[in-house]
């Protein structure tokens, strides 16, 4: 078998590998160590777990940390991703994976010791084509804990239940899909025309062909939330911008929650315009309703966050405005591109 890491190694025997865990990285020195430790400490899996770290050219200590593990070169390998983005990493690993099962792994997370065993159990018992767990967010400091709370609450992410559900259920999408390699190959891999949100696209394609995705709270993940409003804005802007392209590709299949922040922003903009007209009382309705929503979230978070609940409104406002602004930016960009194409065709 060909050498697949950056250094000479004795590869894992292909006939013993059951799961290929794929970790896409770029400058993840703060998270990659605990992430890999949690993957290497998996229990009750009948077969080997190989770990492929697909690195997009990290300039920090990410690769140094990866190479420091005793398992490097045997169970743990590194592949280079010259195009950096995660969508390319998933496909690079798909071409090299030895396992029957393929696990998408986020480097910003730690996985319970029975994570893979639970994935296998749920998948075999339910007959699902893909499974995933509940991403329990955590953060440091008042702002980090507030952001983590928002990312695990309907106030922040609507009915994206894979972030807070306590019951096993079928779903439209999951965090860190666990599926069979054959399933991904049958789907043609990940769509590289989508720079981001490629995981949602894959989930929608899987369900469109009759596949079933199940999430279970027995599949436990601890997810590191952003620690600042600036980091949260960048994350949610990216989500909102590229989700617009996924929506366009999968018309009628994307959940309504993905449109809500854009609708909120449009409502606030309309309220601002109405404020200069005789309908100024009507103009106050949407801002007032959203303000009450933020206060309700703060009160709901208070028992858990205590004084930290006072920054929950700022975190929610950042999430919703960044996502909505990005969604509209992508929409107008699409419209401008269509007009340019039409003009060239004319």
- pLDDT of 1 above 90: no
Mean pLDDT of 311-335: 91
Residue 281 has pLDDT above 80, yes or no: no
| CB neighbour list of residue 93: distance below 8 Å, 6 or more residues apart | 20, 22, 52, 54, 79, 102
Average pLDDT along the chain? 88
Per-residue pLDDT tens for 78-133? 999 999 999 999 999 999 999 999 999 999 999 999 999 999 999 999 999 999 98
Alpha-carbon distances, residue 43 vs 31, 48, 112, 254 (angstroms): 21, 11, 9, 36
- The percentage of the chain sitting over the pLDDT mark of 70, rounded to a whole number, equals 92
pLDDT reported for residue 3: 39
User: CA angle 44-47-50, nearest 5°?
Assistant: 105
Q: How confident is the model at residue 14 (pLDDT cuts 50, 70, 90)?
A: low
pLDDT, residue 304, reads 93
The pLDDT confidence band at residue 337, using thresholds 50, 70 and 90, is: low
Q: What is the pLDDT of residue 42?
A: 94
Write down the pLDDT at residue 47.
87
Give the pLDDT of residue 175.
86
Q: What is the pLDDT of residue 60?
A: 95
Phi, psi values for residue 220, rounded to 5°: -105, 135
Instruction: Give the model's confidence band at 186: pLDDT under 50 very low, under 70 low, under 90 confident, else very high.
Output: very high
| The pLDDT of residue 2 | 41
> What is the pLDDT at residue 330?
92
Q: Is the pLDDT of residue 199 over 70?
A: yes
Domains of the chain plus CATH, in order, are: 14-225 (3.90.550.10), 256-345 (no CATH)
Residue 322 has pLDDT above 70, yes or no: yes
Which of 4-18, 178-192, 297-311 shows the lowest per-residue confidence on average (mean pLDDT)?
A: 4-18
pLDDT at 160 over 90: no
Using 50, 70 and 90 to split pLDDT, how confident is the model at 253? confident
- How far apart are alpha carbons 297 and 294 in whole angstroms? 5
Which range (20-34, 108-122, 277-291) has the least confidence? 277-291
pLDDT of residue 10: 40
Average pLDDT score over residue span 239-243? 92
Nearest alpha-carbon partner for 242 in 225, 231, 254, 230: 254
Residue 298: predicted pLDDT: 97
Banded pLDDT at 340 (limits 50, 70, 90): low
Q: Which residues of 110-136 are buried (b: 16+ CB within 10 A; e: fewer)?
A: bbbebbbbbbbbbbeeeebbbbbbbbb
pLDDT in tens, 112-123: 999 999 999 999
Q: Which residues of 61-75 are buried (b: 16+ CB within 10 A; e: fewer)?
A: ebbebbeebebbbeb
**Using 50, 70 and 90 to split pLDDT, how confident is the model at 12?**
low
pLDDT at 46 (0 to 100) = 85
* Per-residue 3-state assignment (H helix, E strand, C coil) for the chain: CCCCCCCCCCCCCHHHEEEEEEEEECCCCCCHHHHHHHHHCCCCCCCEEEEEEEECCCCCCHHHHHHCCCCECCCEEEEECCCCCHHHHHHHHHHHCCCCEEEEEECCEEECCCHHHHHHHHHHHHCCCEEEEEEEEECCHHHHHHHHHHHCCHHHHCCCHHHCCCCCEECCCCEEEEEEHHHHHHCCCCCCCCCCCHHHHHHHHHHHCCCCEEEEEEEEEEEECCCCHHHHHHHHHHHHHHHHHHHHHCCCCCCHHHHHHHHHHHHHHHHHHHCCCCCHHHHCHHHHHHHHHHHHHHHHHHHHHHHHHHHHHHHHHHHHHHHHHHHHHHHHHHHHHHHHHHHHHC
pLDDT given for residue 248 in this prediction: 87
Structure tokens at 98: 């030895």
- At residue 218, the pLDDT reads 92
């Amino acid at each position: 078998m060909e050498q697949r890491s950056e250094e000479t190694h004795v590869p894992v025997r292909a006939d013993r590998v059951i799961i290929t865990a794929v970790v896409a990285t770029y400058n993840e020195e703060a998270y990659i160590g605990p992430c890999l430790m949690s993957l290497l400490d998996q229990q009750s899996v009948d077969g080997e777990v190989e770990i492929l770290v697909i690195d997009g050219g990290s300039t920090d200590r990410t690769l140094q940390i990866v190479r420091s593990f005793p398992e490097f070169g045997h169970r743990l390998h590194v592949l280079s991703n010259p195009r950096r983005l995660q969508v390319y990493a998933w496909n690079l690993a798909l071409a090299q994976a030895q396992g029957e099962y393929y696990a998408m792994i986020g480097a910003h997370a730690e996985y319970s010791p029975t994570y893979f065993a639970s994935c296998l159990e749920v998948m075999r018992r339910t007959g699902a084509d893909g499974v995933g767990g509940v991403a329990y967010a955590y953060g440091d400091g008042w702002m980090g804990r507030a952001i983590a709370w928002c990312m695990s609450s309907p106030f922040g992410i609507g009915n994206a239940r894979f972030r807070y559900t306590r019951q096993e259920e079928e779903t439209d999408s999951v965090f860190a899909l666990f599926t069979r390699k054959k399933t991904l190959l049958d789907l043609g891999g990940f769509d590289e025309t989508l720079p981001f949100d490629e995981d949602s696209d894959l989930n929608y394609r899987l369900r469109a062909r009759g596949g079933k995705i199940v999430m279970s709270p027995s599949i436990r993940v601890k997810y590191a939330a952003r620690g600042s409003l600036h980091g949260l804005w960048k994350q949610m802007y990216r989500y909102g911008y590229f989700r617009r392209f996924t929506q366009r590709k999968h018309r009628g299949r994307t959940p309504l929650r993905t449109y809500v922040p854009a609708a909120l922003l449009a409502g606030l903009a309309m309220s601002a315009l109405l404020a200069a007209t005789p309908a100024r009382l009507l103009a106050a309705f949407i801002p007032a309703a959203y303000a009450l929503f933020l206060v309700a979230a703060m009160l709901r978070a208070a028992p858990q966050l205590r004084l930290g609940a006072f920054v929950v409104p700022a975190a929610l406002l950042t999430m919703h405005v960044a996502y909505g602004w990005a969604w509209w930016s992508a929409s107008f960009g699409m419209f401008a591109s269509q007009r340019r194409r039409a003009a060239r065709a004319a």
